[in-house]
Chains A and B, each alone.
Chain A
Amino acid sequence: MITADHSVALPTHWRDFLALTKPRVMTLVVFTGLCGLLAAPGSIHPVIAFTAILCIAVGAGGAAALNQWYEAEIDGGMKRTANRPLPAGRMERGSARDFGIALSAGSVMVMGLGVGWLAAILLIISIVYYAVVYTMWLKPRTPQNIVVGGGAGAFPPLIGWVAVTGEITLMPVVLFAIIFLWTPPHFWALALFVKTDYANVGIPMMPVVAGEKATRRQILAYTVILAPVAMAPWFIGGAGAIYAIGAGVLSLAFFALAVPVGTRFSGPDDAMKPEKRLFAFSILYLFALFGVLVADRLAANYGWIA
């Protein structure tokens, strides 16, 4: 690129391409995908398992790059995202778009050829769901954006499971449902303490459009619905006692942290501590819930539990 003073602009640093893939979000995607793969009945060659997880990670990275390409201007208006490579001017928009398309297409092709085409189809659905349905369509239009959009983040355990079994059964659908119902309380807890950011850029997040009271009520409602769904793997016989105890304790803790968020109202200059605590715990909750599922299934495989 030649700039106005005829000097050559610095090429984008490779770390900015990495940042475009949202590595922190990717850790949760990789973890839940890996848990789906490890919890599934049957066996998979380690190389194919590695390929499946790599494709899930790269596909998520591609979807994240497309999300940042489309939302560059919105990101520039929010404190939390203003330093991302595009709004900070460290990368051209076209580069982010091309990078996102290349990662998405590459991951789907490798998944199809190396793992299986059902897993590849699910991967492409999850990418389109996040980059198009959520980012381009739902997010700027409806306060229910992350309720429906939560489906995008719910695909990894389903894909991991299908990579092993080659078919969609009730258990991976339940894992999908857990993340689907976990997303609203997780994201709205965040939205409550960054709502001015969203309001400034015109994104109709629930606290901006429906107000704090309605958001808090819905956080509590989704937490209540999440608890039995989190227990469902045990109800349907897909998990044993270790999972049942773990999921029960985690759901109680989630509920205990959601109650103060659901029943209070923030004042001026509020530190929003209960909301920040719930947001932080929600991440731990998902890691721990899927971790305990894998522990349960490994224990069952070794014959320690039924």
Chain B
Amino acid sequence: MTPDEKRRHSDEVHARQKGRNKVLGFVLVGLVVLFFVLTFVRFPTPEDRAAAAAEQDAAQNSGQPFG
């Protein structure tokens, strides 16, 4: 391999590593955003918690197991 070929090869290696790092970065940021949004969507609101508590109370008062 001539010095010129070596330099071009090395540039290509760096270009590919950079490209992979960028794509991996986008994927990781995307996952962080997805998990963050999912947490909000799936996290129960105060109304949901109140409704669940009311359902549990009703089940206990009627003597039925809470399901």
Chain A residues at the B interface, C-beta cutoff of 8 Å: 5, 7-8, 10-14, 45, 47-48, 51, 54, 110, 113-114
- The answer to whether A10 touches B34 (Cβ under 8 A) is no
Q: Residues of A contacting B16 with CB < 8 Å?
A: 10-14
Which B residues are in CB contact (< 8 Å) with A5?
Answer: 1
In this complex, what residue of A is CB-closest to B9? A7
Inter-chain contact B9/A114, CB cutoff 8 Å: no
* Contact present for A11 and B23 (CB under 8 Å): no
For the complex of A and B, list the 3 residue pairs with the smallest distance between their C-beta atoms, beginning with the closest.
Answer: A14-B23, A47-B41, A11-B16
Closest to A5 in B: B1
- Contacts A47-B41, A48-B41; A11 near B17 (Cβ below 8 A): yes
Closest chain-A Cβ to B26's Cβ sits at a distance in Å of 10
Q: Are A47 and B19 in touch, CB under 8 angstroms?
A: no
Q: Are A10 and B41 in contact, CB atoms less than 8 angstroms apart?
A: no
Are A13 and B1 within 8 A (Cβ)?
no
A47-B38 in contact (CB<8A):
yes
5 extra interchain contacts, Cβ-Cβ under 8 A, other than A7-B6, A48-B41, A54-B34?
A: A7-B1, A10-B16, A11-B17, A13-B20, A14-B20
* Contact of B38 with A114 in the complex, beta carbons under 8 Å: yes
Assess the B37–A47 pair: CB atoms within 8 A.
yes
Task: Report whether B19 and A14 are in contact in the complex, using a CB–CB cutoff of 8 Å.
Answer: yes
Q: Assess A51 versus B19: contact at CB under 8 Å? Given A7-B1, A10-B13.
A: no
On B, residues with C-beta under 8 Å from A are: 1, 6, 9, 12-13, 16-17, 19-20, 23, 34-35, 37-38, 41-42
What's the nearest-Cβ distance from chain A to residue B39, in Å?
Answer: 9
A275 to B37, CA, bound (A): 47
CA distance A47 to B41 in the complex (A): 7
Chain A nearest CB, measured from B65 CB (Å): 21
Interchain Cβ contacts under 8 Å between A and B, 9 examples: A7-B1, A10-B9, A13-B19, A14-B23, A47-B37, A47-B38, A48-B38, A114-B35, A114-B38
B34 touches A51 (CB 8 A): yes
For A10, the chain B residues whose CB sits under 8 A away are 9, 12-13, 16
Chain A contacts of B42 at CB under 8 A? 48, 114
Q: How far is the CA of A65 from the CA of B20 in the complex (A)?
A: 17
Instruction: Tell me how far the C-beta of B58 lies from the nearest C-beta in chain A, rounded to whole angstroms.
Output: 23
Give the chain B neighbours of A12 by CB distance below 8 A.
16, 20
Q: How far is the CA of A48 from the CA of B37 in the complex (A)?
A: 9
Q: How far is the CA of A54 from the CA of B1 in the complex (A)?
A: 44
A5 to B12, CA, bound (A): 17
B4 CB → nearest A CB, Å: 13
- Provide the bound-state CA to CA distance between A8 and B6, in Å: 10
- Residues from chain B with Cβ under 8 Å of A113 in the complex: 38
Separation of A35 and B51 alpha carbons in the complex (Å) = 32
Q: Which residue of A lies closest to B14 (CB)?
A: A11
Please tell me if the beta carbons of B41 and A45 are within 8 angstroms of each other in the complex: yes
Task: Return chain A residues, CB-CB under 8 Å to B41.
Answer: 45, 47-48
Q: How far apart are the CA atoms of A187 and B61 in the complex, in Å?
A: 60
CB contacts (< 8 Å) of A51 on chain B: these are 34, 38
- Chain B residues whose C-beta falls within 8 Å of the C-beta of A7 in the assembled complex: 1, 6, 9
- Complex contact B1–A11 (CB within 8 A): no
**A45: chain B residues within 8 A (beta carbon):** 41
A54→B12 CA distance, assembly (Å): 32
* Chain A residues with CB below 8 A from B23, complex form: 14
